[in-house]
Amino acid sequence: MNSLSSADIVQGRSLWQDAMARLWKNRLAMIGLYILSFMVFIALLTPWIAPYSYEAQKLDMGAVPPNTQHWLGTDTFGRDLLTRIMYGGRISLAVGFIATAVALLIGVLWGAIAGYIGGRTDAIMMRIVDILYALPFMIFIILLMVVFGRSILLLFLAIGCVEWLTMARIVRGQVLAVRHQEFVDAAVVLGLSHWQIIRRYIIPNILGPVIVYITLTIPSVMLLEAFLSFLGLGVQPPQSSWGLLISYGVETMEEYPWLLLFPGLVLSITLFSLNFLGDGLRDALDPKASKD
Amino acid sequence: MLKFIGSRILQAIPVLLVVISVTFVLVRLAPGGPFDAEKAVSPYVLEKLNERYNLDAPLHVQFIDYLSGIMQGDFGPSFKFPARSVTEMIAAGLPITFELAFYAMLVALLIGISAGLLAAIRPNTVQDYVPMSVAMIGICMPSFLMGPVLVLVFGIWLEWLPVSGWGYSPGDKILPAITLGSTYAAYIARLTRGSMLEVLSQDYIRTARAKGLPTQTIIFKHALKGGLLPVVSFLGPAIAGLLSGSFVVETIFQIPGLGRFYVQAAFNRDYTMIMGTTIFFSVLIIFFNMLSDIIAAYLNPRLKLGDKQ
């Protein structure tokens, strides 16, 4: 599989080029990437390309099945479902990306500091992670939403604060492994500063696992948001998200099944794409760990 | 082994204390008093209410009282249903939630392990791709979508199974158990496949093949024990997931279990009920995580040596 042509040998390929080439060949991951890019693209452009206004109601029309004017039908207030799914997608994707970013920030800092300093600091910091790990977080997020009101900002923070733990563990393990490599010793002997070592050796080496973990965190965060919104504890109307649309769909699914099926389909396809992309990235960046 | 179990139990104690104090502090931090939402309450009644719920004592005294109450299995009275105690409501809901989680676990293990085995025996064939694609669907289809879709298809369109309830009509436990178990079936299938593939490539399996043992013997007698290790370690988190999954499934199917009580309490801002159930769920989850760690250590002695990776 990895037979190198003479051109490759002359040019040389970095680890990243190698990984990208592997990802490019993984058909499922690429499909995931395309679908995801499409979803993000649509979400960004929604205010300009949505077929109807978000709030426009036609009460006399009510819920109609998909037709040429309303491609995915309308809900019981006569609102265009496609428009609502597009706007809901903005929130669902935003929660996915922003909460993951919060998790990334905390997790990488925590893990890197613990791993780089090592010793007792490391022991204490990872002990804290262990304790937090044992907490049932789903329940705590619900508690937070109940106690502090159901604001979307809190949702970002609460989910982000939960998801950073695994990130911290991964980063710490990676930093620890890199830190004891001989090339880092060599850099220390050569008199490089801490910051230079971190920038030149540590960061490039932890980037792979972190990217993989990000792509796998986004779908679990989106799932969490949808779960909370479904229970009525997440995103609140008039804002909308896919989880909220699904919960409305459930109420009326007997008469108007499309109100459940379309939002559900869109959510599932997005989660599918993210999972395939994450799996593909893992295979590409770390061929050794491509099992399970 | 005993030492390992002891240390795991000791580790659980600080976690429990953190859970209880964080819950207590969070609920006390909630903006506004618990009775603000009610219509104007006379000062006398308010005083009596505060007395009944022990809110007139200093905070640390309240905390210690609450802690000692928990030790005796007393979570105090419910805010919204003053006639009932939180402990009573937990006792009423728990057996149902456990039964649901048990059936769901059964579904998850049966389907998950068989699918994973099928896939691992002939990797990269149709026998591998089909179960694994179905598993991917199971992972990407959350329970709050899976449940309603199953109800729609089997309950409303085909009219094969009841759409809600628990123990009222025959077969009404099937859909909730499948809904709750499906995600975990999918994870277990993937775990089983991965680890079975690894085990089947080991030398001792080759030896067994060389001895001419039949494939069934090799798989069920020699490979399965090692191959199911990751599944065992996954059981703890899976049970935790099943318990929080019961929030949704019990809401969808209108099952009067602990999960539904919890969601209702969260809606009604029934603070004592939320505190009680939060702490109770936490204890359960911590306990099952501990149990699965211990079983995993028993099956794989290498884990005990602190090789936690």
Whether A3 is covered by a domain: the verdict is no
Whether A169 is covered by a domain: the verdict is yes
Whether A61 is covered by a domain: the verdict is no
Is ipTM beyond 0.90?
no
Percentage above 90 pLDDT, chain A: 4
pLDDT of residue B103: 92
Q: pLDDT at residue A9 above 70?
A: no
Size of interface A-B (CB pairs under 8 A): 118
Nearest CA to A204 out of A227, A225, A184, A182 is that of A184
Contact A267 B145 (CB under 8 A): yes
User: Please, which pLDDT band fits residue A34 given cuts at 50, 70 and 90?
Assistant: very high
CA–CA dist A125, A168 (Å, integer): 10
Q: What distance lies between CA B43 and its chain's CA centroid?
A: 43
Please compute the mean of the pLDDT values over residues A115-138 and round it to a whole number.
Answer: 80
Residues in B 188-207 with any Cβ partner in A closer than 8 A: 190-191, 194-195, 197-198
Residues recorded for chain B:
309
Residue type, A97: F
Residues recorded for chain A:
292
Residue type, B50: N
pLDDT of residue B16: 82
The total number of structural domains that make up chain A? 1
Q: pLDDT at residue A74 above 50?
A: yes
Weakest-pLDDT range from A10-14, B256-260, B288-292, B297-301: A10-14
Whether A67 is covered by a domain: the verdict is no
CA–CA dist B209, B179 (Å, integer): 39
Query: CA of A43 to nearest chain B CA: how many angstroms apart?
Result: 20
Question: Pick from B18, B29, B309: which is nearest to A131 by CB?
Answer: B18
Q: Per CB distance under 8 Å, which residues of A are interface residues toward B?
A: 130-131, 134-136, 138-140, 142-149, 173, 219, 223, 226-227, 230-233, 243, 246-247, 249-250, 253-254, 257, 260-261, 264, 267-268, 271-272, 275-276, 291-292
Q: Which residues of A touch B29 (CB under 8 A)?
A: 147
Contact A142 B14 (CB under 8 A): no
Whether A222 is covered by a domain: the verdict is yes
Q: Which residues of A touch B30 (CB under 8 A)?
A: 146-148
Please compute the mean of the pLDDT values over residues A159-163 and round it to a whole number.
Answer: 81
DSSP one-letter string for A217-249: HHHHHHHHHHHHHHTTSSS-TTS--HHHHHHHH
User: Please, which pLDDT band fits residue B106 given cuts at 50, 70 and 90?
Assistant: very high
pLDDT of residue B204: 86
Highest mean pLDDT among A62-71, A83-92, B154-163 belongs to A83-92
What CATH number should be reported for the domain holding residue A23?
1.10.3720.10
pLDDT tens for residues B4-36?
Answer: 788 878 877 887 888 888 888 877 776 655 555
- B272 contacts chain A (CB < 8 A): no
CA–CA dist B268, B2 (Å, integer): 45
Burial degree of A20 (CB within 10 A; 0-12, 13-18, 19+): middle
Residue B167: its H or E element: none
Q: pLDDT at residue B141 above 60?
A: yes
Whether A269 is covered by a domain: the verdict is yes
Higher pLDDT among residues A190 and A254, named by residue: A190
Contact A134 B289 (CB under 8 A): yes
Q: pLDDT at residue A288 above 70?
A: no
CA–CA dist B304, B309 (Å, integer): 11
Cβ-based neighbours of B225, under 8 Å, separated by 6 or more: B299
Query: CA of B43 to nearest chain A CA: how many angstroms apart?
Result: 25
Q: pLDDT at residue A196 above 80?
A: yes
pTM for the model: 0.79
Contact A135 B252 (CB under 8 A): no
pLDDT of residue B33: 55
CA–CA dist A96, A214 (Å, integer): 10
The residue assigned the tokens 């936690």 is B308
Nearest CA to A83 out of A130, A132, A39, A46 is that of A46
Nearest CA to A270 out of A35, A112, A109 is that of A35
The residue assigned the tokens 């919960």 is A247
Query: CA of A192 to nearest chain B CA: how many angstroms apart?
Result: 31
Please compute the mean of the pLDDT values over residues B141-169 and round it to a whole number.
Answer: 83
Q: Which residues of B touch A216 (CB under 8 A)?
A: none
Whether A127 is covered by a domain: the verdict is yes
Domain that holds residue A176: 15-53+80-291
- CB contact at 8 A, B273 and B267: no
CB atoms within 10 A of CB B193: 27
- B140 contacts chain A (CB < 8 A): yes
Q: How far are the Cα atoms of A72, A75, A162, B201 from residue A261, in angstroms, in the given order?
A: 10, 12, 30, 43
CB atoms within 10 A of CB B236: 21
Please compute the mean of the pLDDT values over residues A60-84 and round it to a whole number.
Answer: 78
Q: pLDDT at residue A252 above 80?
A: yes
- CB contact at 8 A, A158 and B41: no
- CB contact at 8 A, B239 and B290: no
- B30 contacts chain A (CB < 8 A): yes
Q: Residue B22 is encoded by which pair of tokens?
A: 């964080």
CA–CA dist B75, A164 (Å, integer): 32
pLDDT of residue B303: 56
Higher pLDDT among residues B110 and B244, named by residue: B110
Whether A71 is covered by a domain: the verdict is no
Q: Using the 8-state DSSP alphabet, how is residue B154 labeled?
A: I
What b/e string do you get for B122-161 counting C-beta neighbours within 10 Å, with b at 16 or more? eeeeeebeebbeebbebbbbbbbbbbbbbbbebbeeeeeb
What b/e string do you get for A150-163 counting C-beta neighbours within 10 Å, with b at 16 or more? bebeebbbbbbbbb
- B280 contacts chain A (CB < 8 A): no
CA–CA dist A153, A231 (Å, integer): 18
Which residue from B minimizes the CA distance to A223?
A: B142
Please compute the mean of the pLDDT values over residues A8-37 and round it to a whole number.
Answer: 78
